[in-house]
Amino acid sequence: MQAWLSSSLVRHYPASRAKRRQTLTLHAARGESLSFQAAFRTEGSPAKVSASATCRDGFLLRVRRVGYVPVLHFSTATPAPELEGIGHLPGLAPDPLFPEAEAHAGSYETNAFWVNVDVPSHAPPGRYPVTVALSPEGGEAVALIAVVVVHRGTVHPRRDFPVTQWFYADALCDWYRTELWEESFWPILDAYVEDIAAHGQDTILVPVFTPPTDGVKKPTQLLGVRRDGGRYVFDWTLVERWVDCAREHGVSHFEWNHLFTQWGAARAIRIYEGHGEEGALLWPAETANTSATYREFLSQYLPELHRFLAERDLLDVSFFHVSDEPHGEEARANYRGCREMLRELAPWMRVMDALSEIEFAREKLVDVPIPSISVAPQFAEGGFPAWAYFCCGPRGAYLNRLLDTPLSKISMAGWLFYRNRARGFLHWGYNYWYKSQTTELIDPYRINDALNWPGWPPGDPFIVYPGDSGPVDSIRWEVFAESLRDYALLQSAGVEPEDPMLSEIRDYADFPKDEPWIRTRRRELLKRLDR
């Protein structure tokens, strides 16, 4: 067995060749979290290999096995220099991080373990060796040493940059065979909310109604609704429980789902009797956006929403939506009508939406635009402060976090958001485990493009996999989370977006994409933080 260490920005494929790196040095501020890998290759008989990590002085260590998933096709419209895995893909790609410290390795096969290190905020500056032991069953253990150099400076929590990824309660219900209104759902939710908070996501979508995105969904409606004569009666019990769960894990901001249909705001959304237990709609699915029926509902719901938010100090930490990705003149006209109705019924509501046509901002139809990173510079040049998003595109030279996106490129996300003064980040796919635009559940360990390639590239629909009772993280999720920690490091060091050290970052397509650049800049930040 040959064993070696690598950074978190290397993918080890089954046929990856062995390296000779027995030691590794990592630099960190106090209070930072970082990760690296211990890889090994078996030559000859299969072997069971277990891994353990030890360190002194209260460092929290976690070891997980790197698993493989099939990638059948590369992302399209992406040149070779912007892809990772050529020569290995199509084939098996490393991504899921299984919560186990033993690998059953076959002959002539490379595997890896992922090691997380949490540096205590009170740790004295110095060098801390982390020893990783790889022990083949019946053989001699191999000891590898990673040295964590802890600097004097302390990193502070990220601020003023909300991050949200759409959270699919329907996927949890279908995978774990439960329902929102059943008690068995809530421990599962708790595990997933803990996961998003641990990775730096501070905002969660609240499915007060079934989200009107990506096709007709399984009813997942937290708010209980029933008719009583000409009035609607609302039960906020499950909404409050969802919010409480999020707050308990440190999630600080809340995203309330869209009030009109996707891609143009043409219709009212589907709202069900009760929580949707029987699938009975309050009005036909074709009900128009500003119809008297829907207007009457909103005139009763929106004041109740305002009361709920005000009583729980949520108004200033809530985000509201009209319609996802409207585009074209007809959609803009629909959006305009919906916005006018909302301004009349809820003048307190500031709205934000993913949209990439700057006319929506120019007409002041949206308070906080969320453009694609491909057009975000236009909003900045036009004087419209905006969030940013990417999804199945843009591809090519642009930032993304697909299964064939180089990890060093994914790790630049926080740097790019900081340099480009993005006000927040949104992604549509935290856990979309469905065939595209349907309610047909798929196995994300086998299918990672929602059966919609080349439209949806591999890895775009989700960043976590389902485990026995909670999420299985991915390499991409870990690296993206580390990029958000770099954002916090930039803030903590007092670096301005125009600082010369960031001058090589020009936009979301033109930026350094190599690991040495990141290592060098992190060392510079740590020196500034030490002053």
Question: pLDDT tens for residues 464-475?
Answer: 999 999 999 999
Predicted pLDDT at 413: 98
How confident is residue 518, by pLDDT bands cut at 50, 70 and 90?
A: very high
Asked if omega into 394 is within 30° of 0 (cis), the reply is yes
The 10 Å Cβ neighbour count of residue 333 is: 14
Predicted pLDDT at 21: 83
- Cβ atoms of residues 141 and 134 within 8 Å: yes
Predicted pLDDT at 30: 97
Question: pLDDT tens for residues 251-298?
Answer: 999 999 999 999 999 999 999 999 999 999 999 999 999 999 999 999
- Cβ atoms of residues 357 and 263 within 8 Å: no
Beta bridge partners of 148: 26, 128
In 3D space, the residue among 117, 83, 111, 118 whose CA is nearest the CA of residue 97 turns out to be 111
Q: What share of the chain is helix, strand, coil (3-state, %, to 5)?
A: 25, 25, 45
- Better-scored residue on pLDDT, 30 or 57: 30
- Cβ atoms of residues 55 and 42 within 8 Å: no
- Cβ atoms of residues 75 and 404 within 8 Å: yes
How far is it, in rounded angstroms, from Cα 530 to Cα 525? 9
Predicted pLDDT at 230: 86
H or E, element range at 33: strand 33-42
Residues in CB range of 42: below 8 A, 6 or more apart: 1, 49, 105, 106, 107, 108, 109, 111
pLDDT greater than 80 at residue 57:
no
Range 249-269 burial, b when 16+ CB lie within 10 A, else e: bebebbbbbbbbbbebbbbbb
3-state SS class at 241: helix
In 3D space, the residue among 34, 104, 111, 119 whose CA is nearest the CA of residue 484 turns out to be 34
pLDDT greater than 90 at residue 141:
yes
Average pLDDT, the chain: 97
At residue 472, what is the residue type? V
- In the DSSP assignment, the letter for residue 440 is -
Give the mean model confidence (pLDDT) for residues 41-58.
91
How far is it, in rounded angstroms, from Cα 322 to Cα 339? 7
At residue 523, what is the residue type? R
Predicted pLDDT at 90: 98
Q: Give the Å distances, CA to CA, from 13 to 8, 10, 21, 85, 90.
A: 14, 10, 17, 8, 11
Q: State the alpha helices, DSSP H only, in 400-474.
A: 407-410, 413-419
Question: pLDDT tens for residues 105-130?
Answer: 999 999 999 999 999 999 999 999 99
Q: Give the Å distances, CA to CA, from 279 to 227, 270, 284, 432.
A: 15, 10, 12, 21
DSSP string covering 457-523: -TTTTBS-EE-SSSEE-BHHHHHHHHHHHHHHHHHHTT--TT-GGGTT--SSSSS--SHHHHHHHHH
Among residues of the chain, what percentage have pLDDT more than 70?
A: 100
HEC string of 262-277 equals CCCCCEECCCECECCC
Predicted pLDDT at 117: 98
Give the mean model confidence (pLDDT) for residues 203-223.
97
Report the range of poorest mean pLDDT among 50-59, 146-155, 160-169.
50-59
- Whether the model clears a pTM of 0.95, i.e. scores above it, the answer is yes
